[in-house]
Amino acid sequence: MMGRDRWLLAAVCALTALGFFLQIRIAEAVPRAGFFIPYALGAVCGIAAMFAFSGERAGVLLRGRWIALGAATALMAALLVFGRRYRGGLYLPGRINPSELVKLCMVVFAAGTLSDGRVTMRRLLELGAGYGVVAVTVALAGDFGLLAQLAVTGAAVLFATSWFWGCAAFVTIAGGVSFMFARPTGHLATRLAVWRDPLADAAGAGWQTLQGLTAVVSGGWWGVGAKLGDVRNVPIVASDFVYTALAEEWGLVGCVALLALYGMIFVRGLMASDRLSHAENVGGALLAAGLVASLAVQVLLNIGGVLNAVPMTGIPLPLLSLGGSSLMVTLVSLGILLGLSRVAGAEDIVGQRVTRNKRQGDMSANARRGQSGR
C-alpha cells in the first residue's frame, strides 16, 4: 500500500513549524500571559489527530453527514446562547471559537450528501436546507466571514459534482454578497467602510489596516530580517494579522514561499481528489475537494483582508494564526486530506494491477489464438 503523500506532509510540517516560529517571535515582542499555552496544546493535540485521521478511515466520515450537520447546528446554537462579544466576534466561554469545527462539519455534510455523484432535486433540497439552517445561525452571530467561507465551500463541492448547479450556486452567492454590500449594518458596515477608505478614520477603525499595510510595505523584497521587525505596531498581529509579521521580517520572498507551501497543499489535495474520482470514489473526491476549497478560501480571505483587497473578515490564517482550536481543527482537516491521498494512492495501485493483469490476459489469449491458427 502506498504511504502518505510526502509532498503534502512536508508542506503541512513546514507551515506548522513556521507558525510556531512566528508565534514565539510575536510572544517575545508582545507578551501575552498564558496565550501561547492553549496554542501549544492545540498544536500537540492537532498533530496527534492529524496522524490518527491520515489512514484509510478518513472516508468513513461521509456516513455521518447528518451527525456532522447536527454538530454544526448545535455549536452555532450554543454560540448564540452562551457566546460573548470580544473585538467584534462572538466567542464561547474561554474565548473558544467553534467556527473552525463548523467549517469541517459542513464540508463533511456537503460531500456526504452528494457522495453518489448525482445531483437530484432531493439532494439539492437536503443540501439547501442543511446549509440554510446553519447559515441563519451564523448570520445571527454576525460572523459574515464564516458565512462567506461556508457558502463558497458548499458551492465548490456542488460545482465538483455538477457544473450547472455549481455555477447557479456561485451566482446566488454573488447576488447575496451584492445585497449585503448595498445594505450593510453594524460591524459589517464598519468593515466595508474601512475597506473602501481606511484613511477616513485613520486613528480609529482604519488604524489596524493602515498599520498592517505599512508593515507589509516596509518589508520590501527581502524583509528587515528575522526578529528585527517591530511587530508591536500592528494590533492583533498574532491572529488576524500574522501575515504582516512575516511580510515585514521576511519580505516578498518570504510571502511567495508561504504561498508556494499553501499552493502545494492545494495542488496535492486536488490531485488526490482527481485520482479518487477516476477510481469512482466520488464521496472521497468531493471530501478532498471541499477541504481544499475551505482552506483556500480561508487563505484568500485572510491575506486579501490584510492587504485590503477584500473586506477584513476576521478569518485566521491556517496553521499560522494564534488559536489552539483553529490550529487543531486545521490539522485534523489536513490529516483527513492525507488519509484521502493515501486511499487514492492505494486505489491507483489496485487499478494499475487490474490493468496490467487484463493486458497480460489479453496477450495470453492472443498467443493461444495464434497457436491454434497454426
d(CA 216, CA 308): 11
Q: Cell 501575552 maps to which residue?
A: 32
As a whole number, mean pLDDT of residues 267-280 equals 90
Q: Cell 454590500 maps to which residue?
A: 181
Q: Does pLDDT of 271 surpass 70?
A: yes
Q: Does pLDDT of 76 surpass 80?
A: yes
d(CA 96, CA 328): 12
Indicate the domain borders of the chain: 6-28+37-343
Q: What percent of the chain has pLDDT over 90?
A: 50
Contacts of 41 (CB under 8 A, 6+ apart): 324
Q: What is the SS3 assignment for 89?
A: strand
pLDDT band at 135 (very low <50, low <70, confident <90, very high): very high
Q: Radius of gyration (Cα) for the chain, nearest Å?
A: 23
What is the reported pLDDT for 138?
A: 92
Amino acid identity of residue 239, one-letter, is S
Q: Does pLDDT of 286 surpass 90?
A: yes
Contacts of 3 (CB under 8 A, 6+ apart): 342, 345
